Homo-oligomer: A and B are copies of this chain.
Amino acid sequence: MRYCYGVDLGGTAVKIGFFDGQGRLLARWEIPTRREDGGRSIPADIAGAVLADMARRGLEKGGCLGLGVGIPGQVWPDGTADAENLGWERFPIVSGLADRTGLRVAADNDANAAAMGEYRSGGGRGCRSVLFVTLGTGVGGGMIIDGRSLRGAHEAGGELGHIQVEPGETRLCACGNRGCLEQYASASGCVRLAREALEATEEPSVLRSMGELDARAVWDAARAGDGPALRAADRYCMYLARGLAAAANTVDPEVIVIGGGVSGAGQLLADMTAEHYRRLAFTPCKATPIVIARLGNDAGIYGCAAMALGQFS
């Protein structure tokens, strides 16, 4: 039996999973992400954690197929990565981990890794292709076809967050464009849509008495039948569906999986999005299922393990 590690590098914590050769999760833990020094200690920290775990298990290098790592940024074909959040610019993450662990290392963008996790072991299991969108602080995504991540010519494959879904928008997105999906379907976009729904009416709403709104409160209220919250949720899903329909008309996936923090909203989010999607998608793609991600925060480590297994076994 051979094993592998899946490492999901986030802005505050590094999630590490230990997997068997069939991609089953055997153990998981976290270490803090040290961002001081432009994130230069990160490879040593990850390598230290992995080597200590191997020693504890009495696992030799030969018993380990490799390590997959997901990066919150762009991973280039030469094994370097850009990650603004970590202070990385063309940072040699693949060699940094390979040299310190003696393991083979596969790397990809974190959203692509999560897409791979959902493809292999989550909402897309058993499908040949998966379009994955992640709804959180930002909106990202990934497309997996026949077990391969569609990385793109500039490592921007599956970047659904910057599809224009509102040509009439005047506010700027963080990317500099206007009307990007991320402006509506991120957690803060959701809160803004809720504020606009509250301002448009005098109708009572549980959201009015809350000091700080968040996306979870909006969806909880929508689920409880709160009028303004439901209208905000409906607009949220309309914008999301516009982005998903444009992407699906391009790549025609077998299933669409919604992940990220906001996907905690659950079935109501999937159902309302599907309703708008059916109206917007091209005929052959109208019936494509839209499902909520199953692996939650573990999608990344599952996907990173799957990358390692796919490339090294």
Interface on A for B, CB 8 Å cutoff?
A: 74, 127-129, 143, 145, 150-160, 162-164, 166-167, 175-177, 180, 242-243, 245-247, 249-254, 279-285, 288
How far in angstroms is the closest Cβ of chain B from A284?
4
B251 touches A162 (CB 8 A): no
Task: With CB as the reference atom, state the residue of chain B lying closest to A253.
Answer: B153
B246 touches A282 (CB 8 A): no
A156 touches B253 (CB 8 A): no
| 26 A–B contacts from the bound complex (CB under 8 Å) | A127-B153, A129-B152, A143-B250, A150-B251, A151-B252, A152-B251, A154-B252, A155-B252, A156-B249, A157-B251, A160-B249, A160-B250, A162-B249, A162-B281, A162-B282, A163-B249, A164-B242, A164-B246, A166-B167, A175-B282, A177-B279, A177-B282, A246-B246, A247-B249, A247-B250, A251-B251
> Are A252 and B164 CB-contacts (below 8 A) given A175-B282, A280-B177, A282-B175?
no
Residue from B145, B155, B158, B250 within 8 A of A158 (CB atoms): B250
How far in angstroms is the closest Cβ of chain B from A30?
30
Q: A290–B303 Cα gap in the complex (Å)?
A: 34
B245 touches A164 (CB 8 A): yes
Q: A78–B251 Cα gap in the complex (Å)?
A: 20
B residues in contact with A166, CB < 8 Å: 167
B residues in contact with A151, CB < 8 Å: 252
Q: A145–B129 Cα gap in the complex (Å)?
A: 15
A253 touches B152 (CB 8 A): yes
5 A-B pairs with least C-beta separation: A152-B252, A162-B282, A154-B284, A153-B254, A246-B246
Q: A285–B228 Cα gap in the complex (Å)?
A: 37
Q: A74–B252 Cα gap in the complex (Å)?
A: 13
Residue from B129, B154, B163 within 8 A of A153 (CB atoms): B129
Residue from B143, B154, B176, B282 within 8 A of A159 (CB atoms): B282
B residues in contact with A162, CB < 8 Å: 249, 281-283
Q: A145–B284 Cα gap in the complex (Å)?
A: 22
